[in-house]
Structure 1
Amino acid sequence: MSAEAIELRKARQRFAALGGAEWLLSSNGAETFVEARNGLDTVVVTHFDKAATPEEIDFFANAPHMIGLLLRLVDRAIKAANQSSGGRATPVQGKSVNYAAEAAMKCGEAAFLVFLEQCHGLERPLTDDKAAQKLRSLLRITSRKELNNDAAAAERWRSLRAAYEAWRKAGN
């Protein structure tokens, strides 16, 4: 997982930890502060120094709303990117994707072997050959070459690959 993906995950966790509380800019005449309201509970989150600018106060008071908006925009962008690419690599300069080679490489990845074990019952010891056999069974093919020639088999491979990527992104 990239450093940016880790930071994005942390941002999501921090945002979720707020529990959907509504942040309100408040004043009692003597000072300006932000309150978090969650149901009937209200908690003062922070008090502002008299030297704080209106822009700084506004930015801080609206931070949860802005973070929520940005996370929704990121989610929409990710979804749009996945839909436009069909969840697969885009061929370069008119060359077709070699799913057979891609599947062979995945069968050599330790994380993919663990995915097959945890999600599809691959038995130990985890070997490339056992992974290839499990892959052929899952995809209902007799040879990985079929992934390049059979559209339905290719779609099954893309679906399995997407499940694997989701499994990895979930921290497995």
Structure 2
Amino acid sequence: MFREMRRKKQMLSLEECVAVLDNGTSGVLAVDGDNDYPYAVPLSYVYCDSKIFFHCARSGHKLDAIARNEKVSFCVIEADQVMPQEYTTYFRSVIVFGKARVLEDDMEKRMALEILAAKYTPDDERGRMQEIDKLFGQVSMIELTIEHMTGKEAIELVRMKP
């Protein structure tokens, strides 16, 4: 169903892919957009229990696209060091394929929102809970269930490994 990576030497292990997702702070969600155009949008996210969660407004392009087609992809770039003298970049990235759904249950939605908020404000539980309470009715939470995930890094980074 999903293509195999051609450059297997550069493939990240599952553990390395998870580390990229855990450490990343933003990624790009790609959906089936309007008029047969792909729509890719950068967003903040959290990876938890083999799923990715992100928030958005209660209406908009992203939600319309997901309602039409739940299949999405999501990409996170951890490293992108330009090496002009070598005519390359030292990169490390992960791409995820899966199905997205809007969390309708308030308990599910709140749990996902709390996990997301904790990632970005780990030292201010009281403040983040106040913000969640204030904006809970205005936000949607999306859960991306991962069906396939691959990661890749520059061959130069592979060669640097012990």
Write 1 or 2 for the structure with the bigger share of strand: 2
Structure with a larger share of its residues in helix = 1
Scaled by the length of structure 2, the TM-score of the pair is: 0.21
Q: Which has the larger radius of gyration?
A: 1
